[in-house]
Amino acid sequence: MYVKPKKELGQHFLKDLSIAQRIAELLTGHGTRNDGDAPVRSYKKVLEIGPGTGVLTQYLLTNDQFETFVIEIDRESVDYLKLHFPKLEGHILAADFLNIRPDLLPNKQPDNTEPFAVIGNFPYNISTQILFKVLDMRDRVPEVVGMFQREVAQRVASGPGNKDYGILSVLLQAWYDIKYEFTVDPGVFNPPPKVYSGVLSLRRNDKTDLGCDERKFVQVVKHGFSQRRKTLRNALKPLNPTEAALASPFMDKRAEQLSVAEFVQLTLLMKNEE
């Protein structure tokens, strides 16, 4: 049975088994704590997004520390997985990750609150949307390992002062420790994409609260980068900064110069007392 990669789904099937194995091995069970003498992992379930023909899936299934689920929108791929991976019986969600209710992840059970990791060779056309959905579920997703277009991966992992540093960098780094793992050549895919790929790992930090109004924080970050060549004094004018904010030295900098912690400080200054 042959599965044809579909351009409209952004499918580029990984062919290199060593890279697939390397990606699978990046899952650490992040959040592991010691309970007496026995390590207890923060999650036991793993959800692979867009498994295609199971090149990565096969290595996830060999790791008995985790229970692997997959979510796939392509009917042809779903049929292929059912035929070739009997261990996935009852573990395949034939659905769109972006549109499925979060409480149905990873195993189709409603009102689910248990943690799970996310992994995949993500379709490049929806990879940032995948990350934003993960961000919304951050208290349930302690670890993410994914393949992205290299430029997106670099943007997510970039720090302050870098031209790639932007909205996605700040919003994700507020909640996750992020590492750019390695670059992948186009030739290891079928069909080869026109760009290089980059593999990222994201591991949830210990923050449960930013220490500021989160909605305001997102607003400040998005407005700050909307005109990234301007100083924040100009970029944040539509938000009607308080006197305290206007007096801050942050206002004479550009958004790309501020760390996550500094954006939090600025958000606190931007907030009018009720």
- Per-residue confidence of the chain (274 residues) as pLDDT tens digits? 678 777 878 878 899 999 999 999 999 988 755 555 555 558 999 999 999 999 999 999 999 999 999 999 999 999 999 999 999 999 999 999 999 999 999 999 999 999 999 999 999 999 999 999 999 999 999 999 999 999 999 999 999 999 999 999 999 999 999 999 999 999 999 988 899 999 999 999 999 899 999 999 999 999 999 988 999 999 999 999 999 999 999 999 999 999 999 999 999 999 764 3
pLDDT at 274: 38
- Cα dihedral 222, 117, 3, 125, rounded to 10, equals 0
Identify the H or E element spanning 67: strand 67-71
CA 124 to chain centre: 12
Report the alpha-carbon angle 140-142-145, nearest 5.
120
243 labelled as ligand-binding? no
pLDDT at 8: 77
12 labelled as ligand-binding? yes
Structure tokens given for 233: 């004094």
In the block, residue with structure tokens 């308080």: 242
Other CB atoms within 10 A of residue 103 CB: 12
CB half-sphere exposure, 268, CA atoms < 13 A: 8
Structure tokens given for 77: 């791929």
How far apart are alpha carbons 149 and 142 in whole angstroms? 22
Number of domains in the chain: 2
**Pairing of the two strands 116-121 and 45-49:** parallel
Inside any domain, residue 81: yes
CATH number at residue 229: 1.10.8.100
Cβ density class 225-239: b for 16+ within 10 Å, e for less: beeeeebbeebbeee
Q: In sequence order, what are the beta bridge partners of 148?
A: 198
Inside any domain, residue 209: no
The residue segments making up the domain with residue 247 are: 214-270
121 labelled as ligand-binding? yes
pTM for the whole structure: 0.92
Considering the domain architecture, whether residues 162 and 248 belong to the same structural domain is answered as: no
**Domain endpoint, select from 204, 229, 257:** 204
Considering the domain architecture, whether residues 115 and 230 belong to the same structural domain is answered as: no
* Residue of 50, 43, 196, 19 lying closest to 119 (CA atoms): 50
72 labelled as ligand-binding? yes
Q: By three-state DSSP, how is residue 133 classified?
A: helix
50 labelled as ligand-binding? yes
